[in-house]
Each structure stands twice: as C-alpha cells, then as structure tokens.
Amino acid sequence: MAGMADSADRETRAAALEFADAREAAGLGAFLGRLIHYDRAAAVRLQADRGAVAVFGRPPSFEVIAIRTVRLAGAVELDVTVSAGELLEGLAEEAGTLAVPTAVTGPPWAGLLPPRGGWRPLPGLPGVARMRGAVAAAVAEFRSRDEALPAQHRTRTERDRIGHEIWSRTLGDTELPLRAAHAAQSVGFLRPMPDDAPVALLRAGSWLRLRTPFGSIALRTAGAGGLNSLAGLSVTPA
C-alpha cells in the first residue's frame, strides 16, 4: 500500500510542471500546435527526469518522431502519454507552467522511442540553408510532377509513388532521408539560423537523429522495421 501511495503522490506532484525559463513555453506551445495541425487527435508522450521534460510526437505525414525538450525548475520524474490538445490547453506561457492532463492509451509508436544515450555524430550533413533549399525544391518538384499527371493517372497510388521517390532521397553524403528534413522544417525545428548553429546528425544503433537548437527528429533506418516503413506516407506538401 505504501508503494501505491508513493506512486500516486509522485503523479500528484508532477501534475503541474514549472519551466526553468518561462520563455521556453512559447516554443513548446508552437510545437504542440503544429502537431495538432497535422492530427487533431494527436497524442504525445512525456518523459521528465534530470531537470528536463522531453515531449515526443509523431507528425503522421512523415513517419518520424519529433522531440521537443524543455528545462524544468525542479526535479520531477514522469512518464505518461497524453492528448496533445489537452496538454496545449494546460500550457500557461506567461507563468511558464504546464498542467499535465489525464493519461490516454498511447498509440503504437509511443512504445518505441529512440534511445536516450549512445549517440555518436555522423559526417556529411549539409548546412541548414542547403537543407531548407532541398526541402523547398522537393516540394516544388512534387507539385510540378503532380500537376503534369494526366487526369486518368492522378490517383493516390501514382501520387504516393512520386512522393516516395522524392522524400526517400538522402541528404548530402548521409543516410538521412529528405522527409526527415521536411518534418523538421514543418514542426519548426529547421528555421533559418546562423551557419555555426549546433545542428548535427547522430546515430545510435538503428536510429538516426537530426538535432537542431529547437528540437530533434528521430527515425529508424532501413531494415530496422517500425518507423522506417513508408506505408501510408502522406505526400501532400506542407
């Protein structure tokens, strides 16, 4: 009984999180808003410890996991999956606090998150300006090829084939698919920034991670199963 009481007490104490810097609340709010833009029923998984909370989401159009981390004012331990919309409603930007809503049944991806440690840097990642340019060129190419399709061939199957071809291309001399950079830009992680900004490509086992000052995009590489599958990938440019 004591163990159950301790667990309930921890959940109660973690029901409201206080950020170390209230200014970070706006960035988290923008991230949650973008996830909801892609899926109004979106769920996110929260993991808090070591003085920070990581919010994991999955924009459905890209088959990746997007991660936004915020520093906390105190030590809190928390691991819960909640509604992204309800979490956004519980965000008080001026106060720099976050009310954690009731847990929901998590989608399958929430049980398969990237590892916390073991990341090593990989070479060959283009600069931010080049990545943004590659995304813009790919969006333009998709639209052009889609518009050029004869009416009888403008089917979902044909559009998916074109999208698969374009977004599976890799960036620079890396294994990172172009769709990962597109996802990073779409959720606000690949904004224009100085050339010396700390942007990196990392690997841990079968996972790749594009890390920027605003958040990370993680995905499993080919042959790893799970999120590397392109089945059902939306090709509508954002």
What's the residue count for the chain? Answer: 238
Residues of the chain with CATH 3.10.150: 2-104
pTM of the model: 0.85
Distance between CA atoms of residues 235 and 61, nearest Å: 7
As a whole number, the mean pLDDT across the chain is 88
Instruction: Give pLDDT, residue 223.
Output: 52
pLDDT band at 233 (very low <50, low <70, confident <90, very high): very low
CB 63 within 8 A of CB 219: yes
DSSP state of 155: -
At 210, list the tokens. 């594009």
pLDDT above 70 for 191: yes
- Report the top-level CATH class of 2-104: alpha beta
H-assigned helices in the chain: 2-13, 24-38, 84-89, 128-148, 156-167, 178-186
When pLDDT is averaged across residues 55-61 and rounded to a whole number, the result is: 93
Distance between CA atoms of residues 165 and 27, nearest Å: 32
